[in-house]
């Protein structure tokens, strides 16, 4: 059983060498006697920015010397639980290894729709998808015609938020870190505008260029200087959904945000949330998104690294923007 092992707690930017590959001999493809868990074959693993927070010492840390844990798509090889049977496809928390014994079945979803790429259950139909859905529809209270700005817009979550906003009839602008991503946002994902934040020396001026009348909704993925500039450009009664702040995750001392008083002047509503706040909406979310995928109204960009051994580089790459779209690791074919 090949595994990607978490070496030790990380400070600063994570590196490939914070993880290593280990072959753990052969394992019995059976659930241990008396266990109500599942023995699964991992097919796709998800690289997600939150995994960085589990690499530092806390009550929820990864365990040094043990496999990385994250979201993935897997096939049940043996089941000790009546709700799952051999051959079922599932998505949820699993290990970065060829086979895993999953004992926490609470947030494991059975995959019912297989007429889409299975890798989608790490992205658009998995945790990032429900994040985009809950964050946009529930937190932002969006209305047709509103001005929407999304940072890290070409990523797993951002690209979907932008397409939801377009379908509702909003004006949508995204920021991303390369020309290739900006082109994809405008041409493939049908954003109204997009810009490369790395080429803007003055983010306030850039936002004023695209939002001369201000921003109604900001879907926050990066934090730091971008949040500060956005606060200067919010409209009265604007909403900010705080999904993530990736620019801050590797800093020992987070960057200052100085313009919070603008929340008062403009009566801005800013709310943070996590994906599992909206897990109960998953069936409703699927009802909305599956037909849109089938009809081609929503497209999804993926960046698939091949082989378990490519996992560490793929995960680390998130923090320098190497991924173009949702970063997935293909471990095995079904
Ligand atoms: P992405 O697919 O967007 O990948 C991360 C991207 O972040 C990179 O490609 C890069 O794109 C951008 N980035 C990296 N470093 C910086 C930086 N210093 N400044 C600005 N941008 C940077 O990831 P996700 O879509 O999965 O996640 C997006 C955000 O949503 C993250 O903050 C994440 O933590 C959060 N999140 C929160 C959840 C929740 O439950 N609240 C659930 C899922 C995600 P670029 O080239 O554009 O710089």
Q: Which percentage of the chain shows pLDDT scores above 70?
A: 100
Banded model confidence at residue 256, pLDDT cuts 50, 70, 90? very high
Q: Ligand 1: which of 122, 206, 229, 246 to mutate, most ligand atoms within 8 Å of CB?
A: 246
What residues form DSSP beta bridges with 329? 45, 305
Kindly state if the Cβ of 74 falls inside 6 Å of ligand 1: no
Banded model confidence at residue 135, pLDDT cuts 50, 70, 90? very high
Q: Are 330 and 305 in contact (CB under 8 A)?
A: yes
The confidence score (pLDDT) of residue 334 equals 87
The answer on pLDDT for 55 being more than 90 is yes
Q: Are 47 and 156 in contact (CB under 8 A)?
A: no
Q: Are 86 and 79 in contact (CB under 8 A)?
A: yes
pTM above 0.90, yes or no: yes
Please report the ipTM that was assigned to this predicted complex: 0.99
Q: Whose CA is nearest to atom 33 of ligand 1?
A: 244
State which ligand 1 atom lies nearest to the alpha carbon of 178: 46
Average pLDDT (267-288) is: 98
The answer on pLDDT for 27 being more than 90 is no
Average pLDDT (229-249) is: 98
331 C-alpha vs ligand 1 centroid, how far in Å? 23
The confidence score (pLDDT) of residue 26 equals 84
Kindly state if the Cβ of 246 falls inside 6 Å of ligand 1: yes
State which ligand 1 atom lies nearest to the alpha carbon of 250: 18
Instruction: Count CA within 13 A, CB hemisphere, residue 240.
Output: 29
Banded model confidence at residue 25, pLDDT cuts 50, 70, 90? confident
Banded model confidence at residue 187, pLDDT cuts 50, 70, 90? very high
Kindly state if the Cβ of 62 falls inside 6 Å of ligand 1: no
Banded model confidence at residue 201, pLDDT cuts 50, 70, 90? very high
318 C-alpha vs ligand 1 centroid, how far in Å? 7
Kindly state if the Cβ of 159 falls inside 6 Å of ligand 1: no
Kindly state if the Cβ of 329 falls inside 6 Å of ligand 1: no
Average pLDDT (158-169) is: 98
The confidence score (pLDDT) of residue 129 equals 98
65 C-alpha vs ligand 1 centroid, how far in Å? 27
Q: Whose CA is nearest to atom 19 of ligand 1?
A: 247
244 C-alpha vs ligand 1 centroid, how far in Å? 7
What residues form DSSP beta bridges with 78? 39
Banded model confidence at residue 223, pLDDT cuts 50, 70, 90? very high
224 C-alpha vs ligand 1 centroid, how far in Å? 13
Q: Whose CA is nearest to atom 32 of ligand 1?
A: 244
The confidence score (pLDDT) of residue 312 equals 98
247 C-alpha vs ligand 1 centroid, how far in Å? 8
The confidence score (pLDDT) of residue 31 equals 94
191 C-alpha vs ligand 1 centroid, how far in Å? 18
The answer on pLDDT for 235 being more than 90 is yes
Kindly state if the Cβ of 319 falls inside 6 Å of ligand 1: yes
Residue-wise pLDDT for 64-91, tens only, equals 999 999 999 999 999 999 999 999 999 9
Average pLDDT (83-101) is: 97
Kindly state if the Cβ of 222 falls inside 6 Å of ligand 1: yes
Q: Report which of residues 276 and 27 the model is more confident about.
A: 276
Would you tell me how many other CB atoms lie within 10 Å of the CB of residue 140?
25
The confidence score (pLDDT) of residue 260 equals 97
The confidence score (pLDDT) of residue 227 equals 98
Would you tell me how many other CB atoms lie within 10 Å of the CB of residue 168?
16
Kindly state if the Cβ of 174 falls inside 6 Å of ligand 1: no
């Amino acid at each position: 059983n090949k595994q990607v092992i978490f070496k030790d707690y990380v400070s600063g930017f994570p590196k490939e060498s914070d993880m290593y590959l280990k072959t753990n001999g052969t394992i019995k493809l059976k659930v241990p006697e008396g266990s109500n868990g599942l023995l699964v074959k991992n097919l796709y693993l998800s690289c997600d920015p939150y995994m960085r927070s589990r690499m530092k010492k806390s009550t929820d840390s990864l365990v040094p010397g043990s496999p990385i844990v994250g979201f993935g798509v897997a096939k049940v090889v043996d089941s000790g639980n009546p709700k799952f049977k051999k051959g079922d496809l599932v998505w949820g928390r699993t290990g970065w290894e060829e086979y895993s014994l999953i004992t926490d079945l609470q947030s494991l979803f059975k995959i019912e729709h297989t007429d889409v790429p299975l890798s989608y259950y790490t992205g658009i139909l998995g945790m990032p998808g429900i994040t985009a859905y809950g964050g946009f529809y529930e937190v932002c209270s969006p209305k047709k015609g509103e001005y929407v700005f999304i940072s890290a817009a070409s990523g797993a979550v951002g690209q979907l938020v932008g397409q939801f906003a377009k379908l509702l009839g909003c004006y949508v602008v995204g920021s991303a870190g390369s020309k290739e991503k900006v082109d994809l946002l405008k041409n493939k994902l049908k954003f109204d505008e997009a810009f490369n934040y790395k080429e803007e020396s003055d983010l306030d001026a850039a936002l004023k260029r695209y939002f001369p009348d201000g921003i109604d909704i900001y879907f926050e993925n990066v934090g730091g200087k971008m949040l500060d500039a956005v606060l200067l450009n919010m409209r009265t009664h604007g909403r900010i959904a705080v999904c993530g702040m990736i620019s801050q995750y590797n800093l020992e001392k987070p960057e200052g945000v100085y313009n919070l008083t603008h929340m008062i002047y403009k009566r801005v509503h800013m709310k943070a949330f996590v994906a599992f706040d909206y897990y109960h909406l998953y069936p409703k979310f699927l009802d909305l998104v599956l037909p849109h995928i089938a009809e081609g109204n929503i497209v999804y960009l993926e960046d698939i690294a091949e082989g378990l051994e490519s996992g560490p580089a793929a995960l680390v790459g998130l923090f320098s923007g190497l991924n173009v779209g949702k970063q997935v690791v293909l471990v095995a074919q079904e």
